[in-house]
Structure 1
Amino acid sequence: MSPSPAAPVLLVIAHGSRDPRHAATVHALTGRVRAARPGLRVETAFLDHCAPGVPQVLERLAADGVRDVVALPLLLTRAFHAKADIPAALREATARHPRLRVHQAGVLGPSPLLVGALERRLSEAGVGPTDAGDPGDRGRTGIVLASAGSSDPEAIAVIARIAREWRRTGWQAVRPAYAATLSGSLPSTADAVRALRAEGVRHIAVAPYVIAPGFLPDRIARGAREAGADVLADVLGDAPEMARLLLRRFDEALMPRLALALA
């Protein structure tokens, strides 16, 4: 059964990349979201490099008679794309389609579900969970939390806070690193690995805090290899925690609408 045009639609807005693995990973994630909530119409748009773009998808939704759209940035922090690019694209589209109500959801991070996805990817890469009464791999492993990077101080502060809080779960160390070091004070992946090694950490794993493959994730991987990291986990991708988080952000964006309907 097709979703009713009256039902809200989830529009996932990804960054886009020339690397075909990026779009394939995004579509795998949105496919998992559809499977988790049958009956929810889930559309995908990209800001750059990939099709379809945001205007094209919203044009199609308006033509289908859809009234409510939750636009969800597939981003881990509130940086330039979340603060400027996506709102501008949505304002332009709603000006052209005034009957279309677009509710912008929050970015994905920070969230315990993202930490859960990081833990899953580390486990899949061979870094075992903590056993009861034994710190196991966790207590003997230093983690490099490698994000794409940003010039936005808010985004940088969020990554640093995630690293501090994740360290308290029992890892020997957790250090933030950045693929795009837009400031000389920000460590690269290789720098962070070498710093942990110099401090005596013998087992080091790099956990990419990125959603899909592409240019910057490849840079993270090169830095991990060049500096001699012992483990390189996969990108977050279509981890089950990611699908649950997208649905949580969708529901949160609709809460004001539901409250108004119940008033």
Structure 2
Amino acid sequence: MDAVRRRRPDLDVRLSFLDLSAPRLPDVLAAVDAGYDRAVVVPLLLGHAFHARVDVPGAVAEAARRHPRLAITTSAVLGGDTRLEDAALDRLAAVAGPLDDPDLGVVVAAIGSSHAPANAAVHRIAQRWAARFGWAGAGAAFATATTPTVADAVTALRAGGARRVAVAPWILAPGLLPDRMARDALAADPAAVVAAPLADHPAVAAVVVDRWAAASGVVPAGRLVG
């Protein structure tokens, strides 16, 4: 959020959560209603799965019923913008070194979803990167809901001939599941390296601002890039 504020200091940027942490989205929208007549909710999500299809619309609909004076618009999720892949590759290069290494195997590690298209999108990212860089192999892995696990993906890459393995989290923020994925990777291969989540990479902030602009009907003077 600090990175977004630096890009758009004219905006009132507030953070909220769907669950597990505070402040919750309904509470933040209630506070916004006290001073504004409209708000844009930008889901900080990398896929269009259950949170995007059910949880966010449900929370926004409930807030709209409670605060009819507040016009609430929800933007598209962050996923689908190629700048996020550039951010993930920057994080990967920071721990793995030059990416044009035919001995490298890469695990693109995501949280995982019961929504198959969301998982398929992660597999496609791994395929694109492998084709682009000519690695020994690349594959998707997931912490929940589906397989393979990170440990299984690391083991498969080593068995397939990768001399070194790196894990690229397709995850926005640090947390318990990314920590577990890192432990699993190192348990499978103590020499593996694990990149940081996307977090406050400039490209992420740029996509957030662009999602806000599109939902607000604002045409930026120039495309915001990291």
Is this a same-fold pair by TM over 0.5? yes
For 2:139, the equivalent position in structure 1 comes to 175
| Alignment partner of 1:63 is 2:34 | yes
The reply to whether residue 188 of structure 1 matches residue 158 of structure 2 is no
Give the secondary structure class of the aligned counterpart of 2:15: strand
Q: Give the Cα separation in 2 of the matches to 1:36 and 1:75.
A: 20
1:206-225 deviation per Cα after TM superposition (whole angstroms, max 9, x unaligned): 01111112121011101110
* Unaligned stretches of 5+ residues in structure 1: 1-29, 130-134, 259-263
- Is 1:239 paired with 2:209? no
Distance 1:72 1:57 in 2: 13
TM-score of the superposition, structure 2-length normalised? 0.91
TM-score (ref. length: structure 1): 0.78
Q: Match for 1:36 among 1, 7, 20?
A: 7
Q: After superposition, give the CA deviation of every residue in 1:216-255 in whole Å (9 maximum; x if it has no partner).
A: 1011101110111521111111111111111111112123
Query: Where does 1:201-216 land on structure 2 (aligned, <5 Å)?
Result: 201-216=162-177
CA drift of 1:126 comes to 3.9
Gaps of 5+ in 2: 220-226
Give distance in 1, aligned partners of 2:91 and 2:132: 16
Q: Out of 83, 86, 89, which is 2:53 matched to?
A: 83
* 1:168 shift after superposition: 2.2
Look up the SS of the partner of 1:45 in the other structure. coil
- Using the aligned pairs only, state the percent identity: 42
**SS of the counterpart of 1:77?**
coil
2:138–2:157 contact (8 Å) kept in structure 1: no
In the alignment, residue 155 of structure 2 is paired with which amino acid? R
Aligned mate of 1:252, from 196, 210, 214 = 214
- For residues 168-215 of structure 1, the C-alpha deviation after alignment (integer angstroms, 9 at most, x for no partner) is 2214122000011x24xx210010011011111112100111111212
Q: Deviations over 1:96-136 (max 9, x none)?
A: 1112111111111122111111111112214225xxxxx4x
Distance in structure 2 (CA, Å) of the matches to 1:145 and 1:103 = 32
Name which of 211, 222, 225 aligns with 2:186. 225
Distance of 1:206 and 1:75 partners within structure 2: 20
Aligned to 2:67: 97
Taking the aligned partners of 2:216 and 2:71, their CA distance within structure 1 comes to: 11
Distance in 1 separating the partners of 2:129 and 2:211 = 22
Determine if contact 1:110/1:162 at 8 Å carries over to the other structure.
no
**In the TM superposition, what whole-angstrom CA distance separates every residue of 1:22-63 from its partner, at most 9, and x where no partner exists?**
xxxxxxxx0110001121110111111222111111111111
Answer yes or no: is the 8 Å Cα contact 1:177–1:189 preserved in 2: yes
Q: How many residue pairs align between the two structures?
A: 217
Once residues 210 and 133 of structure 2 are traced to their aligned partners in structure 1, the CA distance between those partners, rounded to angstroms, is: 27
Provide the C-alpha distance between the structure 1 equivalents of 2:9 and 2:3, rounded to a whole number of angstroms: 10
